[in-house]
Amino acid sequence: MVRQHWQHRELIRQLVGREVTQRYQGSLLGILWSFVTPLLMLAIYTFVFSTVFKSKWRATTGGVELGEFALQLFAGLTAFNVFGEVLTRAPGAVLNCPNYVKKVVFPVQILPVVVLGGALVNSLICVGIMLVANVILFHTVSATLYLLPLAYLPLILLCLGVGWFLASLGVYIRDIGMIVGVVAQMLLFLSPVFYAEDALPAAYRPLMLFNPLAVVLNTFRQTILDGAFPNWSRWGLWTAVTFLIAWAGYVWFMKTKKGFADVI
């Protein structure tokens, strides 16, 4: 799995670059929209949650910290949007590229990786905006920012496994694209994106132990904003589990891709 994608690393890099640039092709600002859109969203979140709703992320916080809720929410959305984009676009990753399947010898297993790569580029831009906003609002930089690659690791593995599985399934079952759109919306509210895990009633908190996105979202917030170390036992467990998910998704894809040309 690793060796094949390393061999095609240059092709993946070129396709990811095209994926990012084509998203804004023909627009006036072009690639600048990658910076403008998350910047505007962060400004709106800061105004609405800090000024209008006067929301607090932590119940122990005295008063209302300007932008605290907005930054915590934005961090959660940055991580979740990577998974959400892969979840919704993976079913069409192979289906929308019939020429790669039927007319040329092409490593179609890299198509879900390209979708993930485009989502990761956008997320890194959002991370950069968060870091600048954290300095402006709180005059600080997270002491554990260097652990951010570890926060990305289980997210990348989970997206790869899900992406390969759905990309293959989308070829044979066209309705899967409609289903995953509903699932993405459900997961958005069932994961601690708009609320802290501690805000859940005690009876429901153990359910988060079975949600891989929970540990990803928490690790993102801890490393980017809070300057805290992740829960290493949970992180290690889910990193191992997501590696198995990635491996299983890759095996499934390679086993089923032999029939793509006949179906498409």
Q: What is the pLDDT of residues 59-78, one digit of tens each?
A: 555 544 667 888 888 899 99
Q: Is residue 95 part of a domain?
A: yes
Residue range 169-180, pLDDT digits in tens? 999 998 888 899
| pTM for this entry | 0.89
Q: Is residue 264 part of a domain?
A: no
Q: Is residue 71 part of a domain?
A: yes
* Burial per residue of 107-146, b for 16 or more beta-carbon CB atoms within 10 angstroms, e otherwise: ebbbbbbbbbbbbbbbbebbbebbbebbeebeeeebebee
Q: Is residue 47 part of a domain?
A: yes
Q: Is residue 263 part of a domain?
A: no
Q: Is residue 112 part of a domain?
A: yes
Question: How many other C-beta atoms are found inside a 10 Å radius of the C-beta of residue 200?
Answer: 14
Count of domains in the chain? 1
Which of 26-30, 107-111, 130-134, 159-163 is most confident?
159-163
Per mean pLDDT, which range of 50-59, 86-95, 160-169, 229-238 is the poorest? Answer: 50-59
Q: Is residue 202 part of a domain?
A: yes
Q: Is residue 14 part of a domain?
A: yes
Q: Which domain holds residue 187?
A: 2-258
pLDDT, mean of residues 37-60: 75
